[in-house]
Structure 1
Amino acid sequence: MLDKINAIIVDDEQEAIDYLSILLAETCPQVDLLATATSSDDALRKIYQYHPGLVFMDIRIDKKSGFDVVEEMKKQNHVPHVIFVTAYNRYAIEAFKANATDYLLKPVDKNELVRAVNKYAELAGKEFDLQYIQKLVGKEVSKIRFNTRTGYILVNPGEIVYCQADGNYTEINMQDESKKLVTYNLRNLISLLPENTFRRISRFHVINEKFLSEVDKGKRRCLLKNGNQRIALTYSPKIFFD
């Protein structure tokens, strides 16, 4: 086990960096946080500058993903161990392909953080344990984190009926008929949803196809059924392809 671990945090949200930094200080005193970065370019600069042994890498950064940053490091023959941090486990298989040491689900749980750091300490200097990540890929994580104006919520995507654009925000309409306003525009919110379940039908709406019961081409409407609730949403032929 290592006595000291030099690390860098990469995340496009300063709030997430601050949260993880505090959590590391409280639970993993052996981790020496050398620097933080909020963009992919800054991340590469600081990784090459500080040569950390461990990088906590957000998956969705800016024009580049965390996976892109790892691929760029490989070109320079400098790849520290990486613990990917993600809001949803559909990225787990990509983390596996990128030879991640581990991955953590946002919001990061302190016990999971300690486990991942200890795992790195065991792996440092040794051949990467592919079987361990393969086991992680099989874990079921059911909720997605969405930021709100006052904090964040955790939502099971299977309980989302449809999403409606509201300027720079999006209203999520749930199976229990509740509504949740999140601080994402519709385009950014779609990137967090499972691709094989959700479908954009217009500039203003994304639907969960599980609730789609009928498409009326004459009226250009998608009819959703949620229990006794019936919802008619207009679709755009340029966006919604039958």
Structure 2
Amino acid sequence: MPDKINAIIVDDEQEAIDYLSILLKENCPHVELLATCTNSDDAVRRIDLHQPDLVFMDIQIDHRNGFDVVKEIKPQNQEPHIIFVTAYDRYAVEAFKANATDYLLKPVEKDELVRAVKKYAGFSKNQVDLEYIQRLIGKAPSKLRFNTRNGYILVNPDEIVYCQADGNYTELFLQDNSKKLISYNLRTLFAQLPGNSFKRISRFHAINEKFLREVDRGKHQCLLQNGAQKVTLSYSPKIFFD
């Protein structure tokens, strides 16, 4: 293990940065934080400036995700090693295709963090740990984490009936007939939902096809049914191809 590892944390949530910083300080004292970043533009600048050994990279940041940031990094000597830190399990394979050193799920566990930092020292970009990927995906939670005005919620995508745009927010209509307002616009949210289950039907709505019961081409309407509850939504033929 190197005497000192220079690192940068990139995450759009300051709370997540603070939490990971404390974990590193308490469990990986040889890791020295050069900077922390809460947006992708700052991340690209600081990584190019400091040329860290290791970057702890969130995947969902702002108008660019963590993969976009990695592509924009301009190494002067060698590319930094990337450890993706995210609440979403579905990016695991894509992360390793991007030559990630490791992939940690939020909330990060102390033992997993220590293991990932230790792995950095002996990592080879030509050695992809497929067994670890399979183990990771196998134990990963099925819920997605969404920010709200007061914190965050964890939601299983299968329980979302449909999503409705509300300016810079989106309202989730859930299978238990509850509603949740999250701090994502519909476009950002839709990019995080399973593409084989959800369809964007208009500027204002995305639906879970699991609940789709009828499409009226003449009226450009979709009928969704959740138990005894039914809802009719208008769709745009330019967006939703029925």
TM-score class normalised by the smaller sequence: 0.7 to 0.9
Deviation at 1:3, TM superposition (A): 4.1
Deviation at 1:204, TM superposition (A): 1.7
**Alpha-carbon separation, structure 1, partners of 2:26 and 2:180:** 32
Structure 1 contact 170–182 (Cα < 8 Å) conserved: yes
CA distance 1:163–1:216, change in 2 (3 Å) = same
Give the partner amino acid of 1:5.
I
What aligned pairs does 1:60-209 form with structure 2 within 5 A after superposition?
A: 60-73=60-73, 78-121=78-121, 123-124=122-123, 126=124, 129-132=127-130, 133-136=132-135, 138-139=137-138, 140-209=140-209
Structure 2 contact 172–179 (Cα < 8 Å) conserved: yes
Residue in structure 1 matched with residue 212 of structure 2 by the alignment: 212
Deviation at 1:49, TM superposition (A): 3.1
Q: Deviations over 1:54-87 (max 9, x none)?
A: 1101223345432233334477552121101223
**Alpha-carbon separation, structure 1, partners of 2:135 and 2:7:** 22
Deviation at 1:128, TM superposition (A): 5.0
Give the partner amino acid of 2:186.
L
Note if 1:229 corresponds to 2:238: no
Provide structure 2 residue ranges, at least 5 long, that are not aligned to the other structure: none
SS state of the match for residue 129, structure 2?
helix
Note if 1:20 corresponds to 2:20: yes
Deviation at 1:127, TM superposition (A): 5.8
Number of aligned residue pairs: 240
**Alpha-carbon separation, structure 2, partners of 1:185 and 1:63:** 11
Give the partner amino acid of 2:57.
M
- Give the TM-score normalised by the residue count of structure 1: 0.87
SS state of the match for residue 191, structure 1?
helix
CA RMSD of aligned residues (A): 2.4
Deviation at 1:88, TM superposition (A): 1.5
**Alpha-carbon separation, structure 2, partners of 1:229 and 1:51:** 55
Structure 2 contact 9–35 (Cα < 8 Å) conserved: yes
Q: Deviations over 1:195-223 (max 9, x none)?
A: 22111112221100111111122332211
Provide structure 1 residue ranges, at least 5 long, that are not aligned to the other structure: none
Q: Deviations over 1:93-152 (max 9, x none)?
A: 21111111111223333343233223224x25x565312554356434311110011111
Structure 1 contact 161–175 (Cα < 8 Å) conserved: yes
Q: Deviations over 1:161-206 (max 9, x none)?
A: 1111222221111111121111111111111111221111122211
Give the partner amino acid of 1:199.
K
Report the identity percentage.
69
SS state of the match for residue 47, structure 1?
helix
Deviation at 1:19, TM superposition (A): 2.9
Structure 1 contact 215–221 (Cα < 8 Å) conserved: yes
Deviation at 1:231, TM superposition (A): 1.9
Structure 1 contact 7–52 (Cα < 8 Å) conserved: yes
Structure 1 contact 9–35 (Cα < 8 Å) conserved: yes
Deviating more after overlay: 68-77 vs 212-221: 68-77
- Give the TM-score normalised by the residue count of structure 2: 0.87
Residue in structure 2 matched with residue 56 of structure 1 by the alignment: 56
Give the partner amino acid of 2:128.
L
Deviation at 1:5, TM superposition (A): 2.2
**Alpha-carbon separation, structure 1, partners of 2:201 and 2:3:** 54
CA distance 1:164–1:73, change in 2 (3 Å) = closer
Give the partner amino acid of 2:55.
V
Residue in structure 2 matched with residue 4 of structure 1 by the alignment: 4
